[in-house]
Amino acid sequence: MKARSAAVVSMAAAAVLAVGGCGSASTPGGSTTTVPAAAQQPAGSANGLCFDANSDLARSAMARLSPPPVGEWQVGQVSDEKISSGCDGVLSYMEVYSNVNHPYTHLLFFTGGKYLGTATSDPYMYTRITGTSRTSLSLTYAWLEGDNDPMCCPKGGPSTVTFTLNGTKVTANGTFPPHS
């Protein structure tokens, strides 16, 4: 009889452990609260941000770029959406530019822990981020017009293109500059 009672107590204890699990904590009132799992944050997130430029996701996306015409790629502006505000449906971005006087610029897009691609197939000079929201980014382009246009102050433009996240795709609305 004692062996049978010990077996029942052991089974009951095992059932309590199985139901309680490691992801829960009991509160004084006897109720159970679930602790959110860190795995719910998208890949590439860290430091409280939906996207972190120091992440493996950022490094691998940057490594996929062809080298710039001159210089090397360096990280510029990066989106700063906070995890606490939610990351679902957020268009994260990372600007990279060549480290020269008149840099070439690429914008890399991310959402939900995935790299979506660049704003344009080739980098452009004289590119500025001029607007952002949780789901869109606007770039304003300028460009040189003719061989006598001084590098300091291009006469072409400005032209603004707005990129908007639609699900897992980014659509562009606006006129791109001519490609030299």
pLDDT in tens, 72-117: 999 999 999 999 999 999 999 999 999 888 899 999 999 999 999 9
Residue whose pair of structure tokens reads 């020269």 in the numeric block: 100
Give Cα separations from 63 to 57, 59, 68, 110 (angstroms).
10, 6, 12, 15
Q: Place 19 in a pLDDT band, splitting at 50, 70 and 90.
A: very low
| CA-CA-CA-CA dihedral for 9, 10, 16, 17, to nearest 10 | 160
Decide: pTM greater than 0.85.
no
d(CA 45, CA 81): 10
Give the residue from 150, 94, 90 showing the smallest Cα distance to 126.
150
CA angle 149, 153, 159 (to 5 degrees): 95
pLDDT digits (tens, 9 = 90+) for 165-176: 999 999 999 999
